[in-house]
A and B are shown apart, each in its own frame.
Chain A
């Protein structure tokens, strides 16, 4: 079976948002997070969720530059903009068993939204909702493997807080669940979920653990060698991150992740470096 392992931008779109999670940014404050993201896969999961070994030489690698910007419009309302620009390199074996290589690059989808803090539970935890639109920043009339080439919208609930007793004292948590819909007759409809725990190590370092994933459904259940165009898929991945604060306004986070289970998607791993700039 021919397979093209393409980077799924959606994999990373949620990540940089996690720098803020459910906490409001704060009125007049802003945050800018440039990031560099890397992903690679060789094997994958088929539509039945079974592991499939990749053909010799076949695989996928992606490098993406991301930019996240958040601005506190009011004490509860934040404006959020997120853009990724990937370079994707893929190779697959055709019916003649020839190795075909492809590369595509450019600015991908932009996500623009508003995040609103619904409830502040005595400054110990926060429940927020975020609504956003997804806008393809590439020419959707051409066949480009940078996204679904269609507009979309997302609604997400976020619950974040700190734990102040027990053996998890001084840690913080973030949980998110969201629904994304692409405005094509075939959708897809995507359910997103995240659960993470951050553990401070002293005053300037922290580590974090996260489990996250997506469950995407569509009337189009056909398997396409171009995985980015597959609309019916799912995956769950595990991440580990380490962060260091250099100054009050500048921190760096390094993240690594691995896909644990999936369906119609790549079995890969990757990482990112995020520069958190509080201006």
Chain B
């Protein structure tokens, strides 16, 4: 059976964009929105798809997974839109996925993945734990990662990354001297940092981005010792306001403006033209851009926006994204991506420390116990 419930009677291919433009995940969501809009503008400027433009319907979930569920449900039920680009956290994706399965919509998720999940109605474009905690991380900090400390939030991303990271640290011959959970409360951060100080760890892993990471980095700078910091889930928008406090911070990511390839350079130039001279695209922007481009490719091939048609077409599809060749793995509905370790420089830009020489396979269920093989 082929339910079809997007209408082109309004003279456009309507798609939903539901990101966290406000709240804790605003940096992630705003970047995702910028990437999606950039892709849509480019596609429409080139004549649209089969003669019709893409028309985005934009909503803000305020960093609340329940609000994301509510808005996407409304979009599927009342606004006759079955293709949604959205979700700025694993919580949002997990909360909404059953609804997308029930109503047979498609969710293109471009936030970071926490693994141990599969849905025929969800495609993931962000790094999974096995891709983030893989070979590139090992190469970047094998020498120092002997005595480590892990700061995490009580959330899905921390839990998903935590398992992979612990194994990776062991593989590097290191030990975890201590762990602490951090919430939004300043008192919490102070307690966690006191424990970190006592542990004398040389390397700290931060499992969170946004303002939490900012507060911790600032506090670390005012402390006496400065351990090496590897912050997962962070991006340019998080670090730029911190000035000196963020210099030297490492992250694992798929994209920054330092990626050198003709596709990436052209992408950076188009982004700057669209959003202004000071702006540069980050990992979430690029992931969301790739998601829209891959959808557009499948729509062009099939000429249909029926959920079942697009849902069948996308697995196995591939495109030359700014980060490199991005391929949707049909086994996991997650993309094979290009992990890179980046370092925040004094010029408030990321530089590339280590990059993979090939796309890394997603392994959401950690079956291959791997850092991702070649695609």
A and B are partners in one complex rather than unrelated chains: no
A residues in contact (CB < 8 Å) with B? none
B residues in contact (CB < 8 Å) with A? none
